[in-house]
Amino acid sequence: MEELRVQVTRYNLYEEKNAISMLPKTLKDADGIILASTVEWMGIGGLMQQFLDACWLYADKDKLSKLYMLPIVMASTYGERDAELTLIKAWELLGGIPISGLSAYVEDHVEFETNTDYTALIEKKAEEFYRMVYQKKKMLPTSNAAIKHSVLSSSSIVLTPQESEQLSVYVSDDTYVKKQKEDIEELTQLFKDMLENNNEGEGSQEFLKNLKDNFHPLDDFEASYSIQLTDSKKTLIVEIHGKRLKCYYGEKPEADVIAKTTNAIMNKLVQGRITFQGAFMSGELTAKGNFKTLRTFDQVFQFNIL
């Protein structure tokens, strides 16, 4: 190309892999682009796919619509023609102007590079590409262009070329992306905690209501229960003084019975599906203290089965 007085800038994607999202802005001053890829086992490489994705997201589509593209694919395995067709179809969907490119199966790269017939073919293709770009030759319409306008039209926010370019800069900035991910995780955890606290709050108030609604006092019976709900890190305190009942969340280390269980087991208890003593015997609830007072819990609170 330099013999034709054409300025050529080469980008190796493996060297620019951390800034691929910024490469579409290098197309602003270009008249043509050559996309060169290899086939390692099937299709174009992942870095080339990332570049095409970046063009779809961040490139100036008006600029792409006037940009000629020459695909070049070399393969040491089967699939070079399919890979070339992939590049052509991708560039058409981006709105650009692809032309017939070069694809070859290379078994011995030294023999390939020193073959004068192959060199002549490559130079002929370069000359053809130069004429296409210089003369701005028109291409026949394709169905891919129609599909792009009807089926593949993006429903996302429409950005100006300047906004797309700025966004590509942010995406390529690892520090910015990391900070955004941390902010998203922090917000996610915040809303998750708010939701859990809300649900726990509703369940907690329900426990207090059920205890009060199903209280059947015994004459001269006084006791206190401390029920630790391990999954919500709350402690339900139940104080009984004859016919008076006091239920609240707090701490009472000197309670007559100190029990530990979960919200799920406590929910079963207030729904009448299990008894306090039954939960203790099955190991779903652990307790220490006065075991006579423990057994009396089921007499004082008689829950209706829900």
Tell me the three-class secondary structure of the chain, residue by residue: CHHHCCCCCCCCCCCCHHHHHHHHHHHCCCCEEEEEEEECCCCCCHHHHHHHHHHHHHCCHHHHCCCEEEEEEEECCCCHHHHHHHHHHHHHHCCCEECCCEEEECCCHHHHHHCHHHHHHHHHHHHHHHHHHHHCCCCCCCHHHHHHHHCCCCCCCCCCHHHHHHHHHHHHCHHHHHHHHHHHHHHHHHHHHHHHHHHHHHHHHHHHHHHHHCECCCCCCEEEEEEEECCCCEEEEEEEECCEEEEEECCCCCCCEEEEECHHHHHHHHCCCCCHHHHHHHCCCEEEECHHHHHHHHHHECCCCC
Q: Determine the pLDDT at residue 80.
A: 94
Homologous superfamily (CATH) of 2-153 is Flavodoxin domain (3.40.50.360)
Q: Determine the pLDDT at residue 56.
A: 92
Exposed / middle / buried, residue 246 (Cβ in 10 Å: 0-12, 13-18, 19+): exposed
Q: Are 23 and 54 in contact (CB under 8 A)?
A: yes
Instruction: Give me the mean pLDDT over the 290-294 stretch.
Output: 91
Q: What phi-psi label fits residue 287: left (phi over 0), alpha (psi between -120 and 50 degrees) or beta?
A: beta
What pLDDT band is residue 237 in, cutting at 50, 70 and 90? very high
Tokens of 235: 């402690």
Which residues, listed in sequence order, are joined to residue 238 by a DSSP beta bridge? 225, 247
pLDDT tens by residue, 171-198: 666 676 677 778 788 787 776 666 655 5
Q: Determine the pLDDT at residue 179.
A: 76
CATH 3.30.1050.10 domain locations along the chain = 204-300
CATH 3.40.50.360 domain locations along the chain = 2-153
Q: Which fold has domain 204-300?
A: Nonspecific Lipid-transfer Protein; Chain A (3.30.1050)
Instruction: Give me the mean pLDDT over the 40-65 stretch.
Output: 90
Instruction: Give me the mean pLDDT over the 266-281 stretch.
Output: 91
Instruction: Give me the mean pLDDT over the 231-254 stretch.
Output: 91
Q: Determine the pLDDT at residue 148.
A: 66
Q: Determine the pLDDT at residue 151.
A: 59
Residue 11 pLDDT > 60: yes
Instruction: Give me the mean pLDDT over the 284-295 stretch.
Output: 92
pLDDT tens by residue, 137-155: 888 888 876 766 665 555 4
Instruction: Please give the Cα distance from 234 to 213 (Å, whole number).
Output: 21
Q: How many Cβ atoms from other residues are within 10 Å of residue 189's Cβ?
A: 10
Residue 159 pLDDT > 70: no
Q: Determine the pLDDT at residue 160.
A: 72
Q: Determine the pLDDT at residue 35.
A: 97
Instruction: Give me the mean pLDDT over the 241-256 stretch.
Output: 91
Residue 10 pLDDT > 90: yes
Q: Determine the pLDDT at residue 189.
A: 73
Predicted TM-score (pTM) of this structure:
0.55
pLDDT tens by residue, 124-136: 999 899 999 999 9
Residue 89 pLDDT > 80: yes
Q: How many Cβ atoms from other residues are within 10 Å of residue 130's Cβ?
A: 19
Instruction: Give me the mean pLDDT over the 271-299 stretch.
Output: 91
Instruction: Give me the mean pLDDT over the 20-42 stretch.
Output: 91
41 versus 239: the higher-pLDDT residue is: 239
From 45, 114, 48, 120, select the one nearest 75 (Cα to Cα).
45
Instruction: Please give the Cα distance from 56 to 81 (Å, whole number).
Output: 23
For residue 99, give Cα distances in angstroms to 67, 133, 172, 287.
11, 10, 30, 80
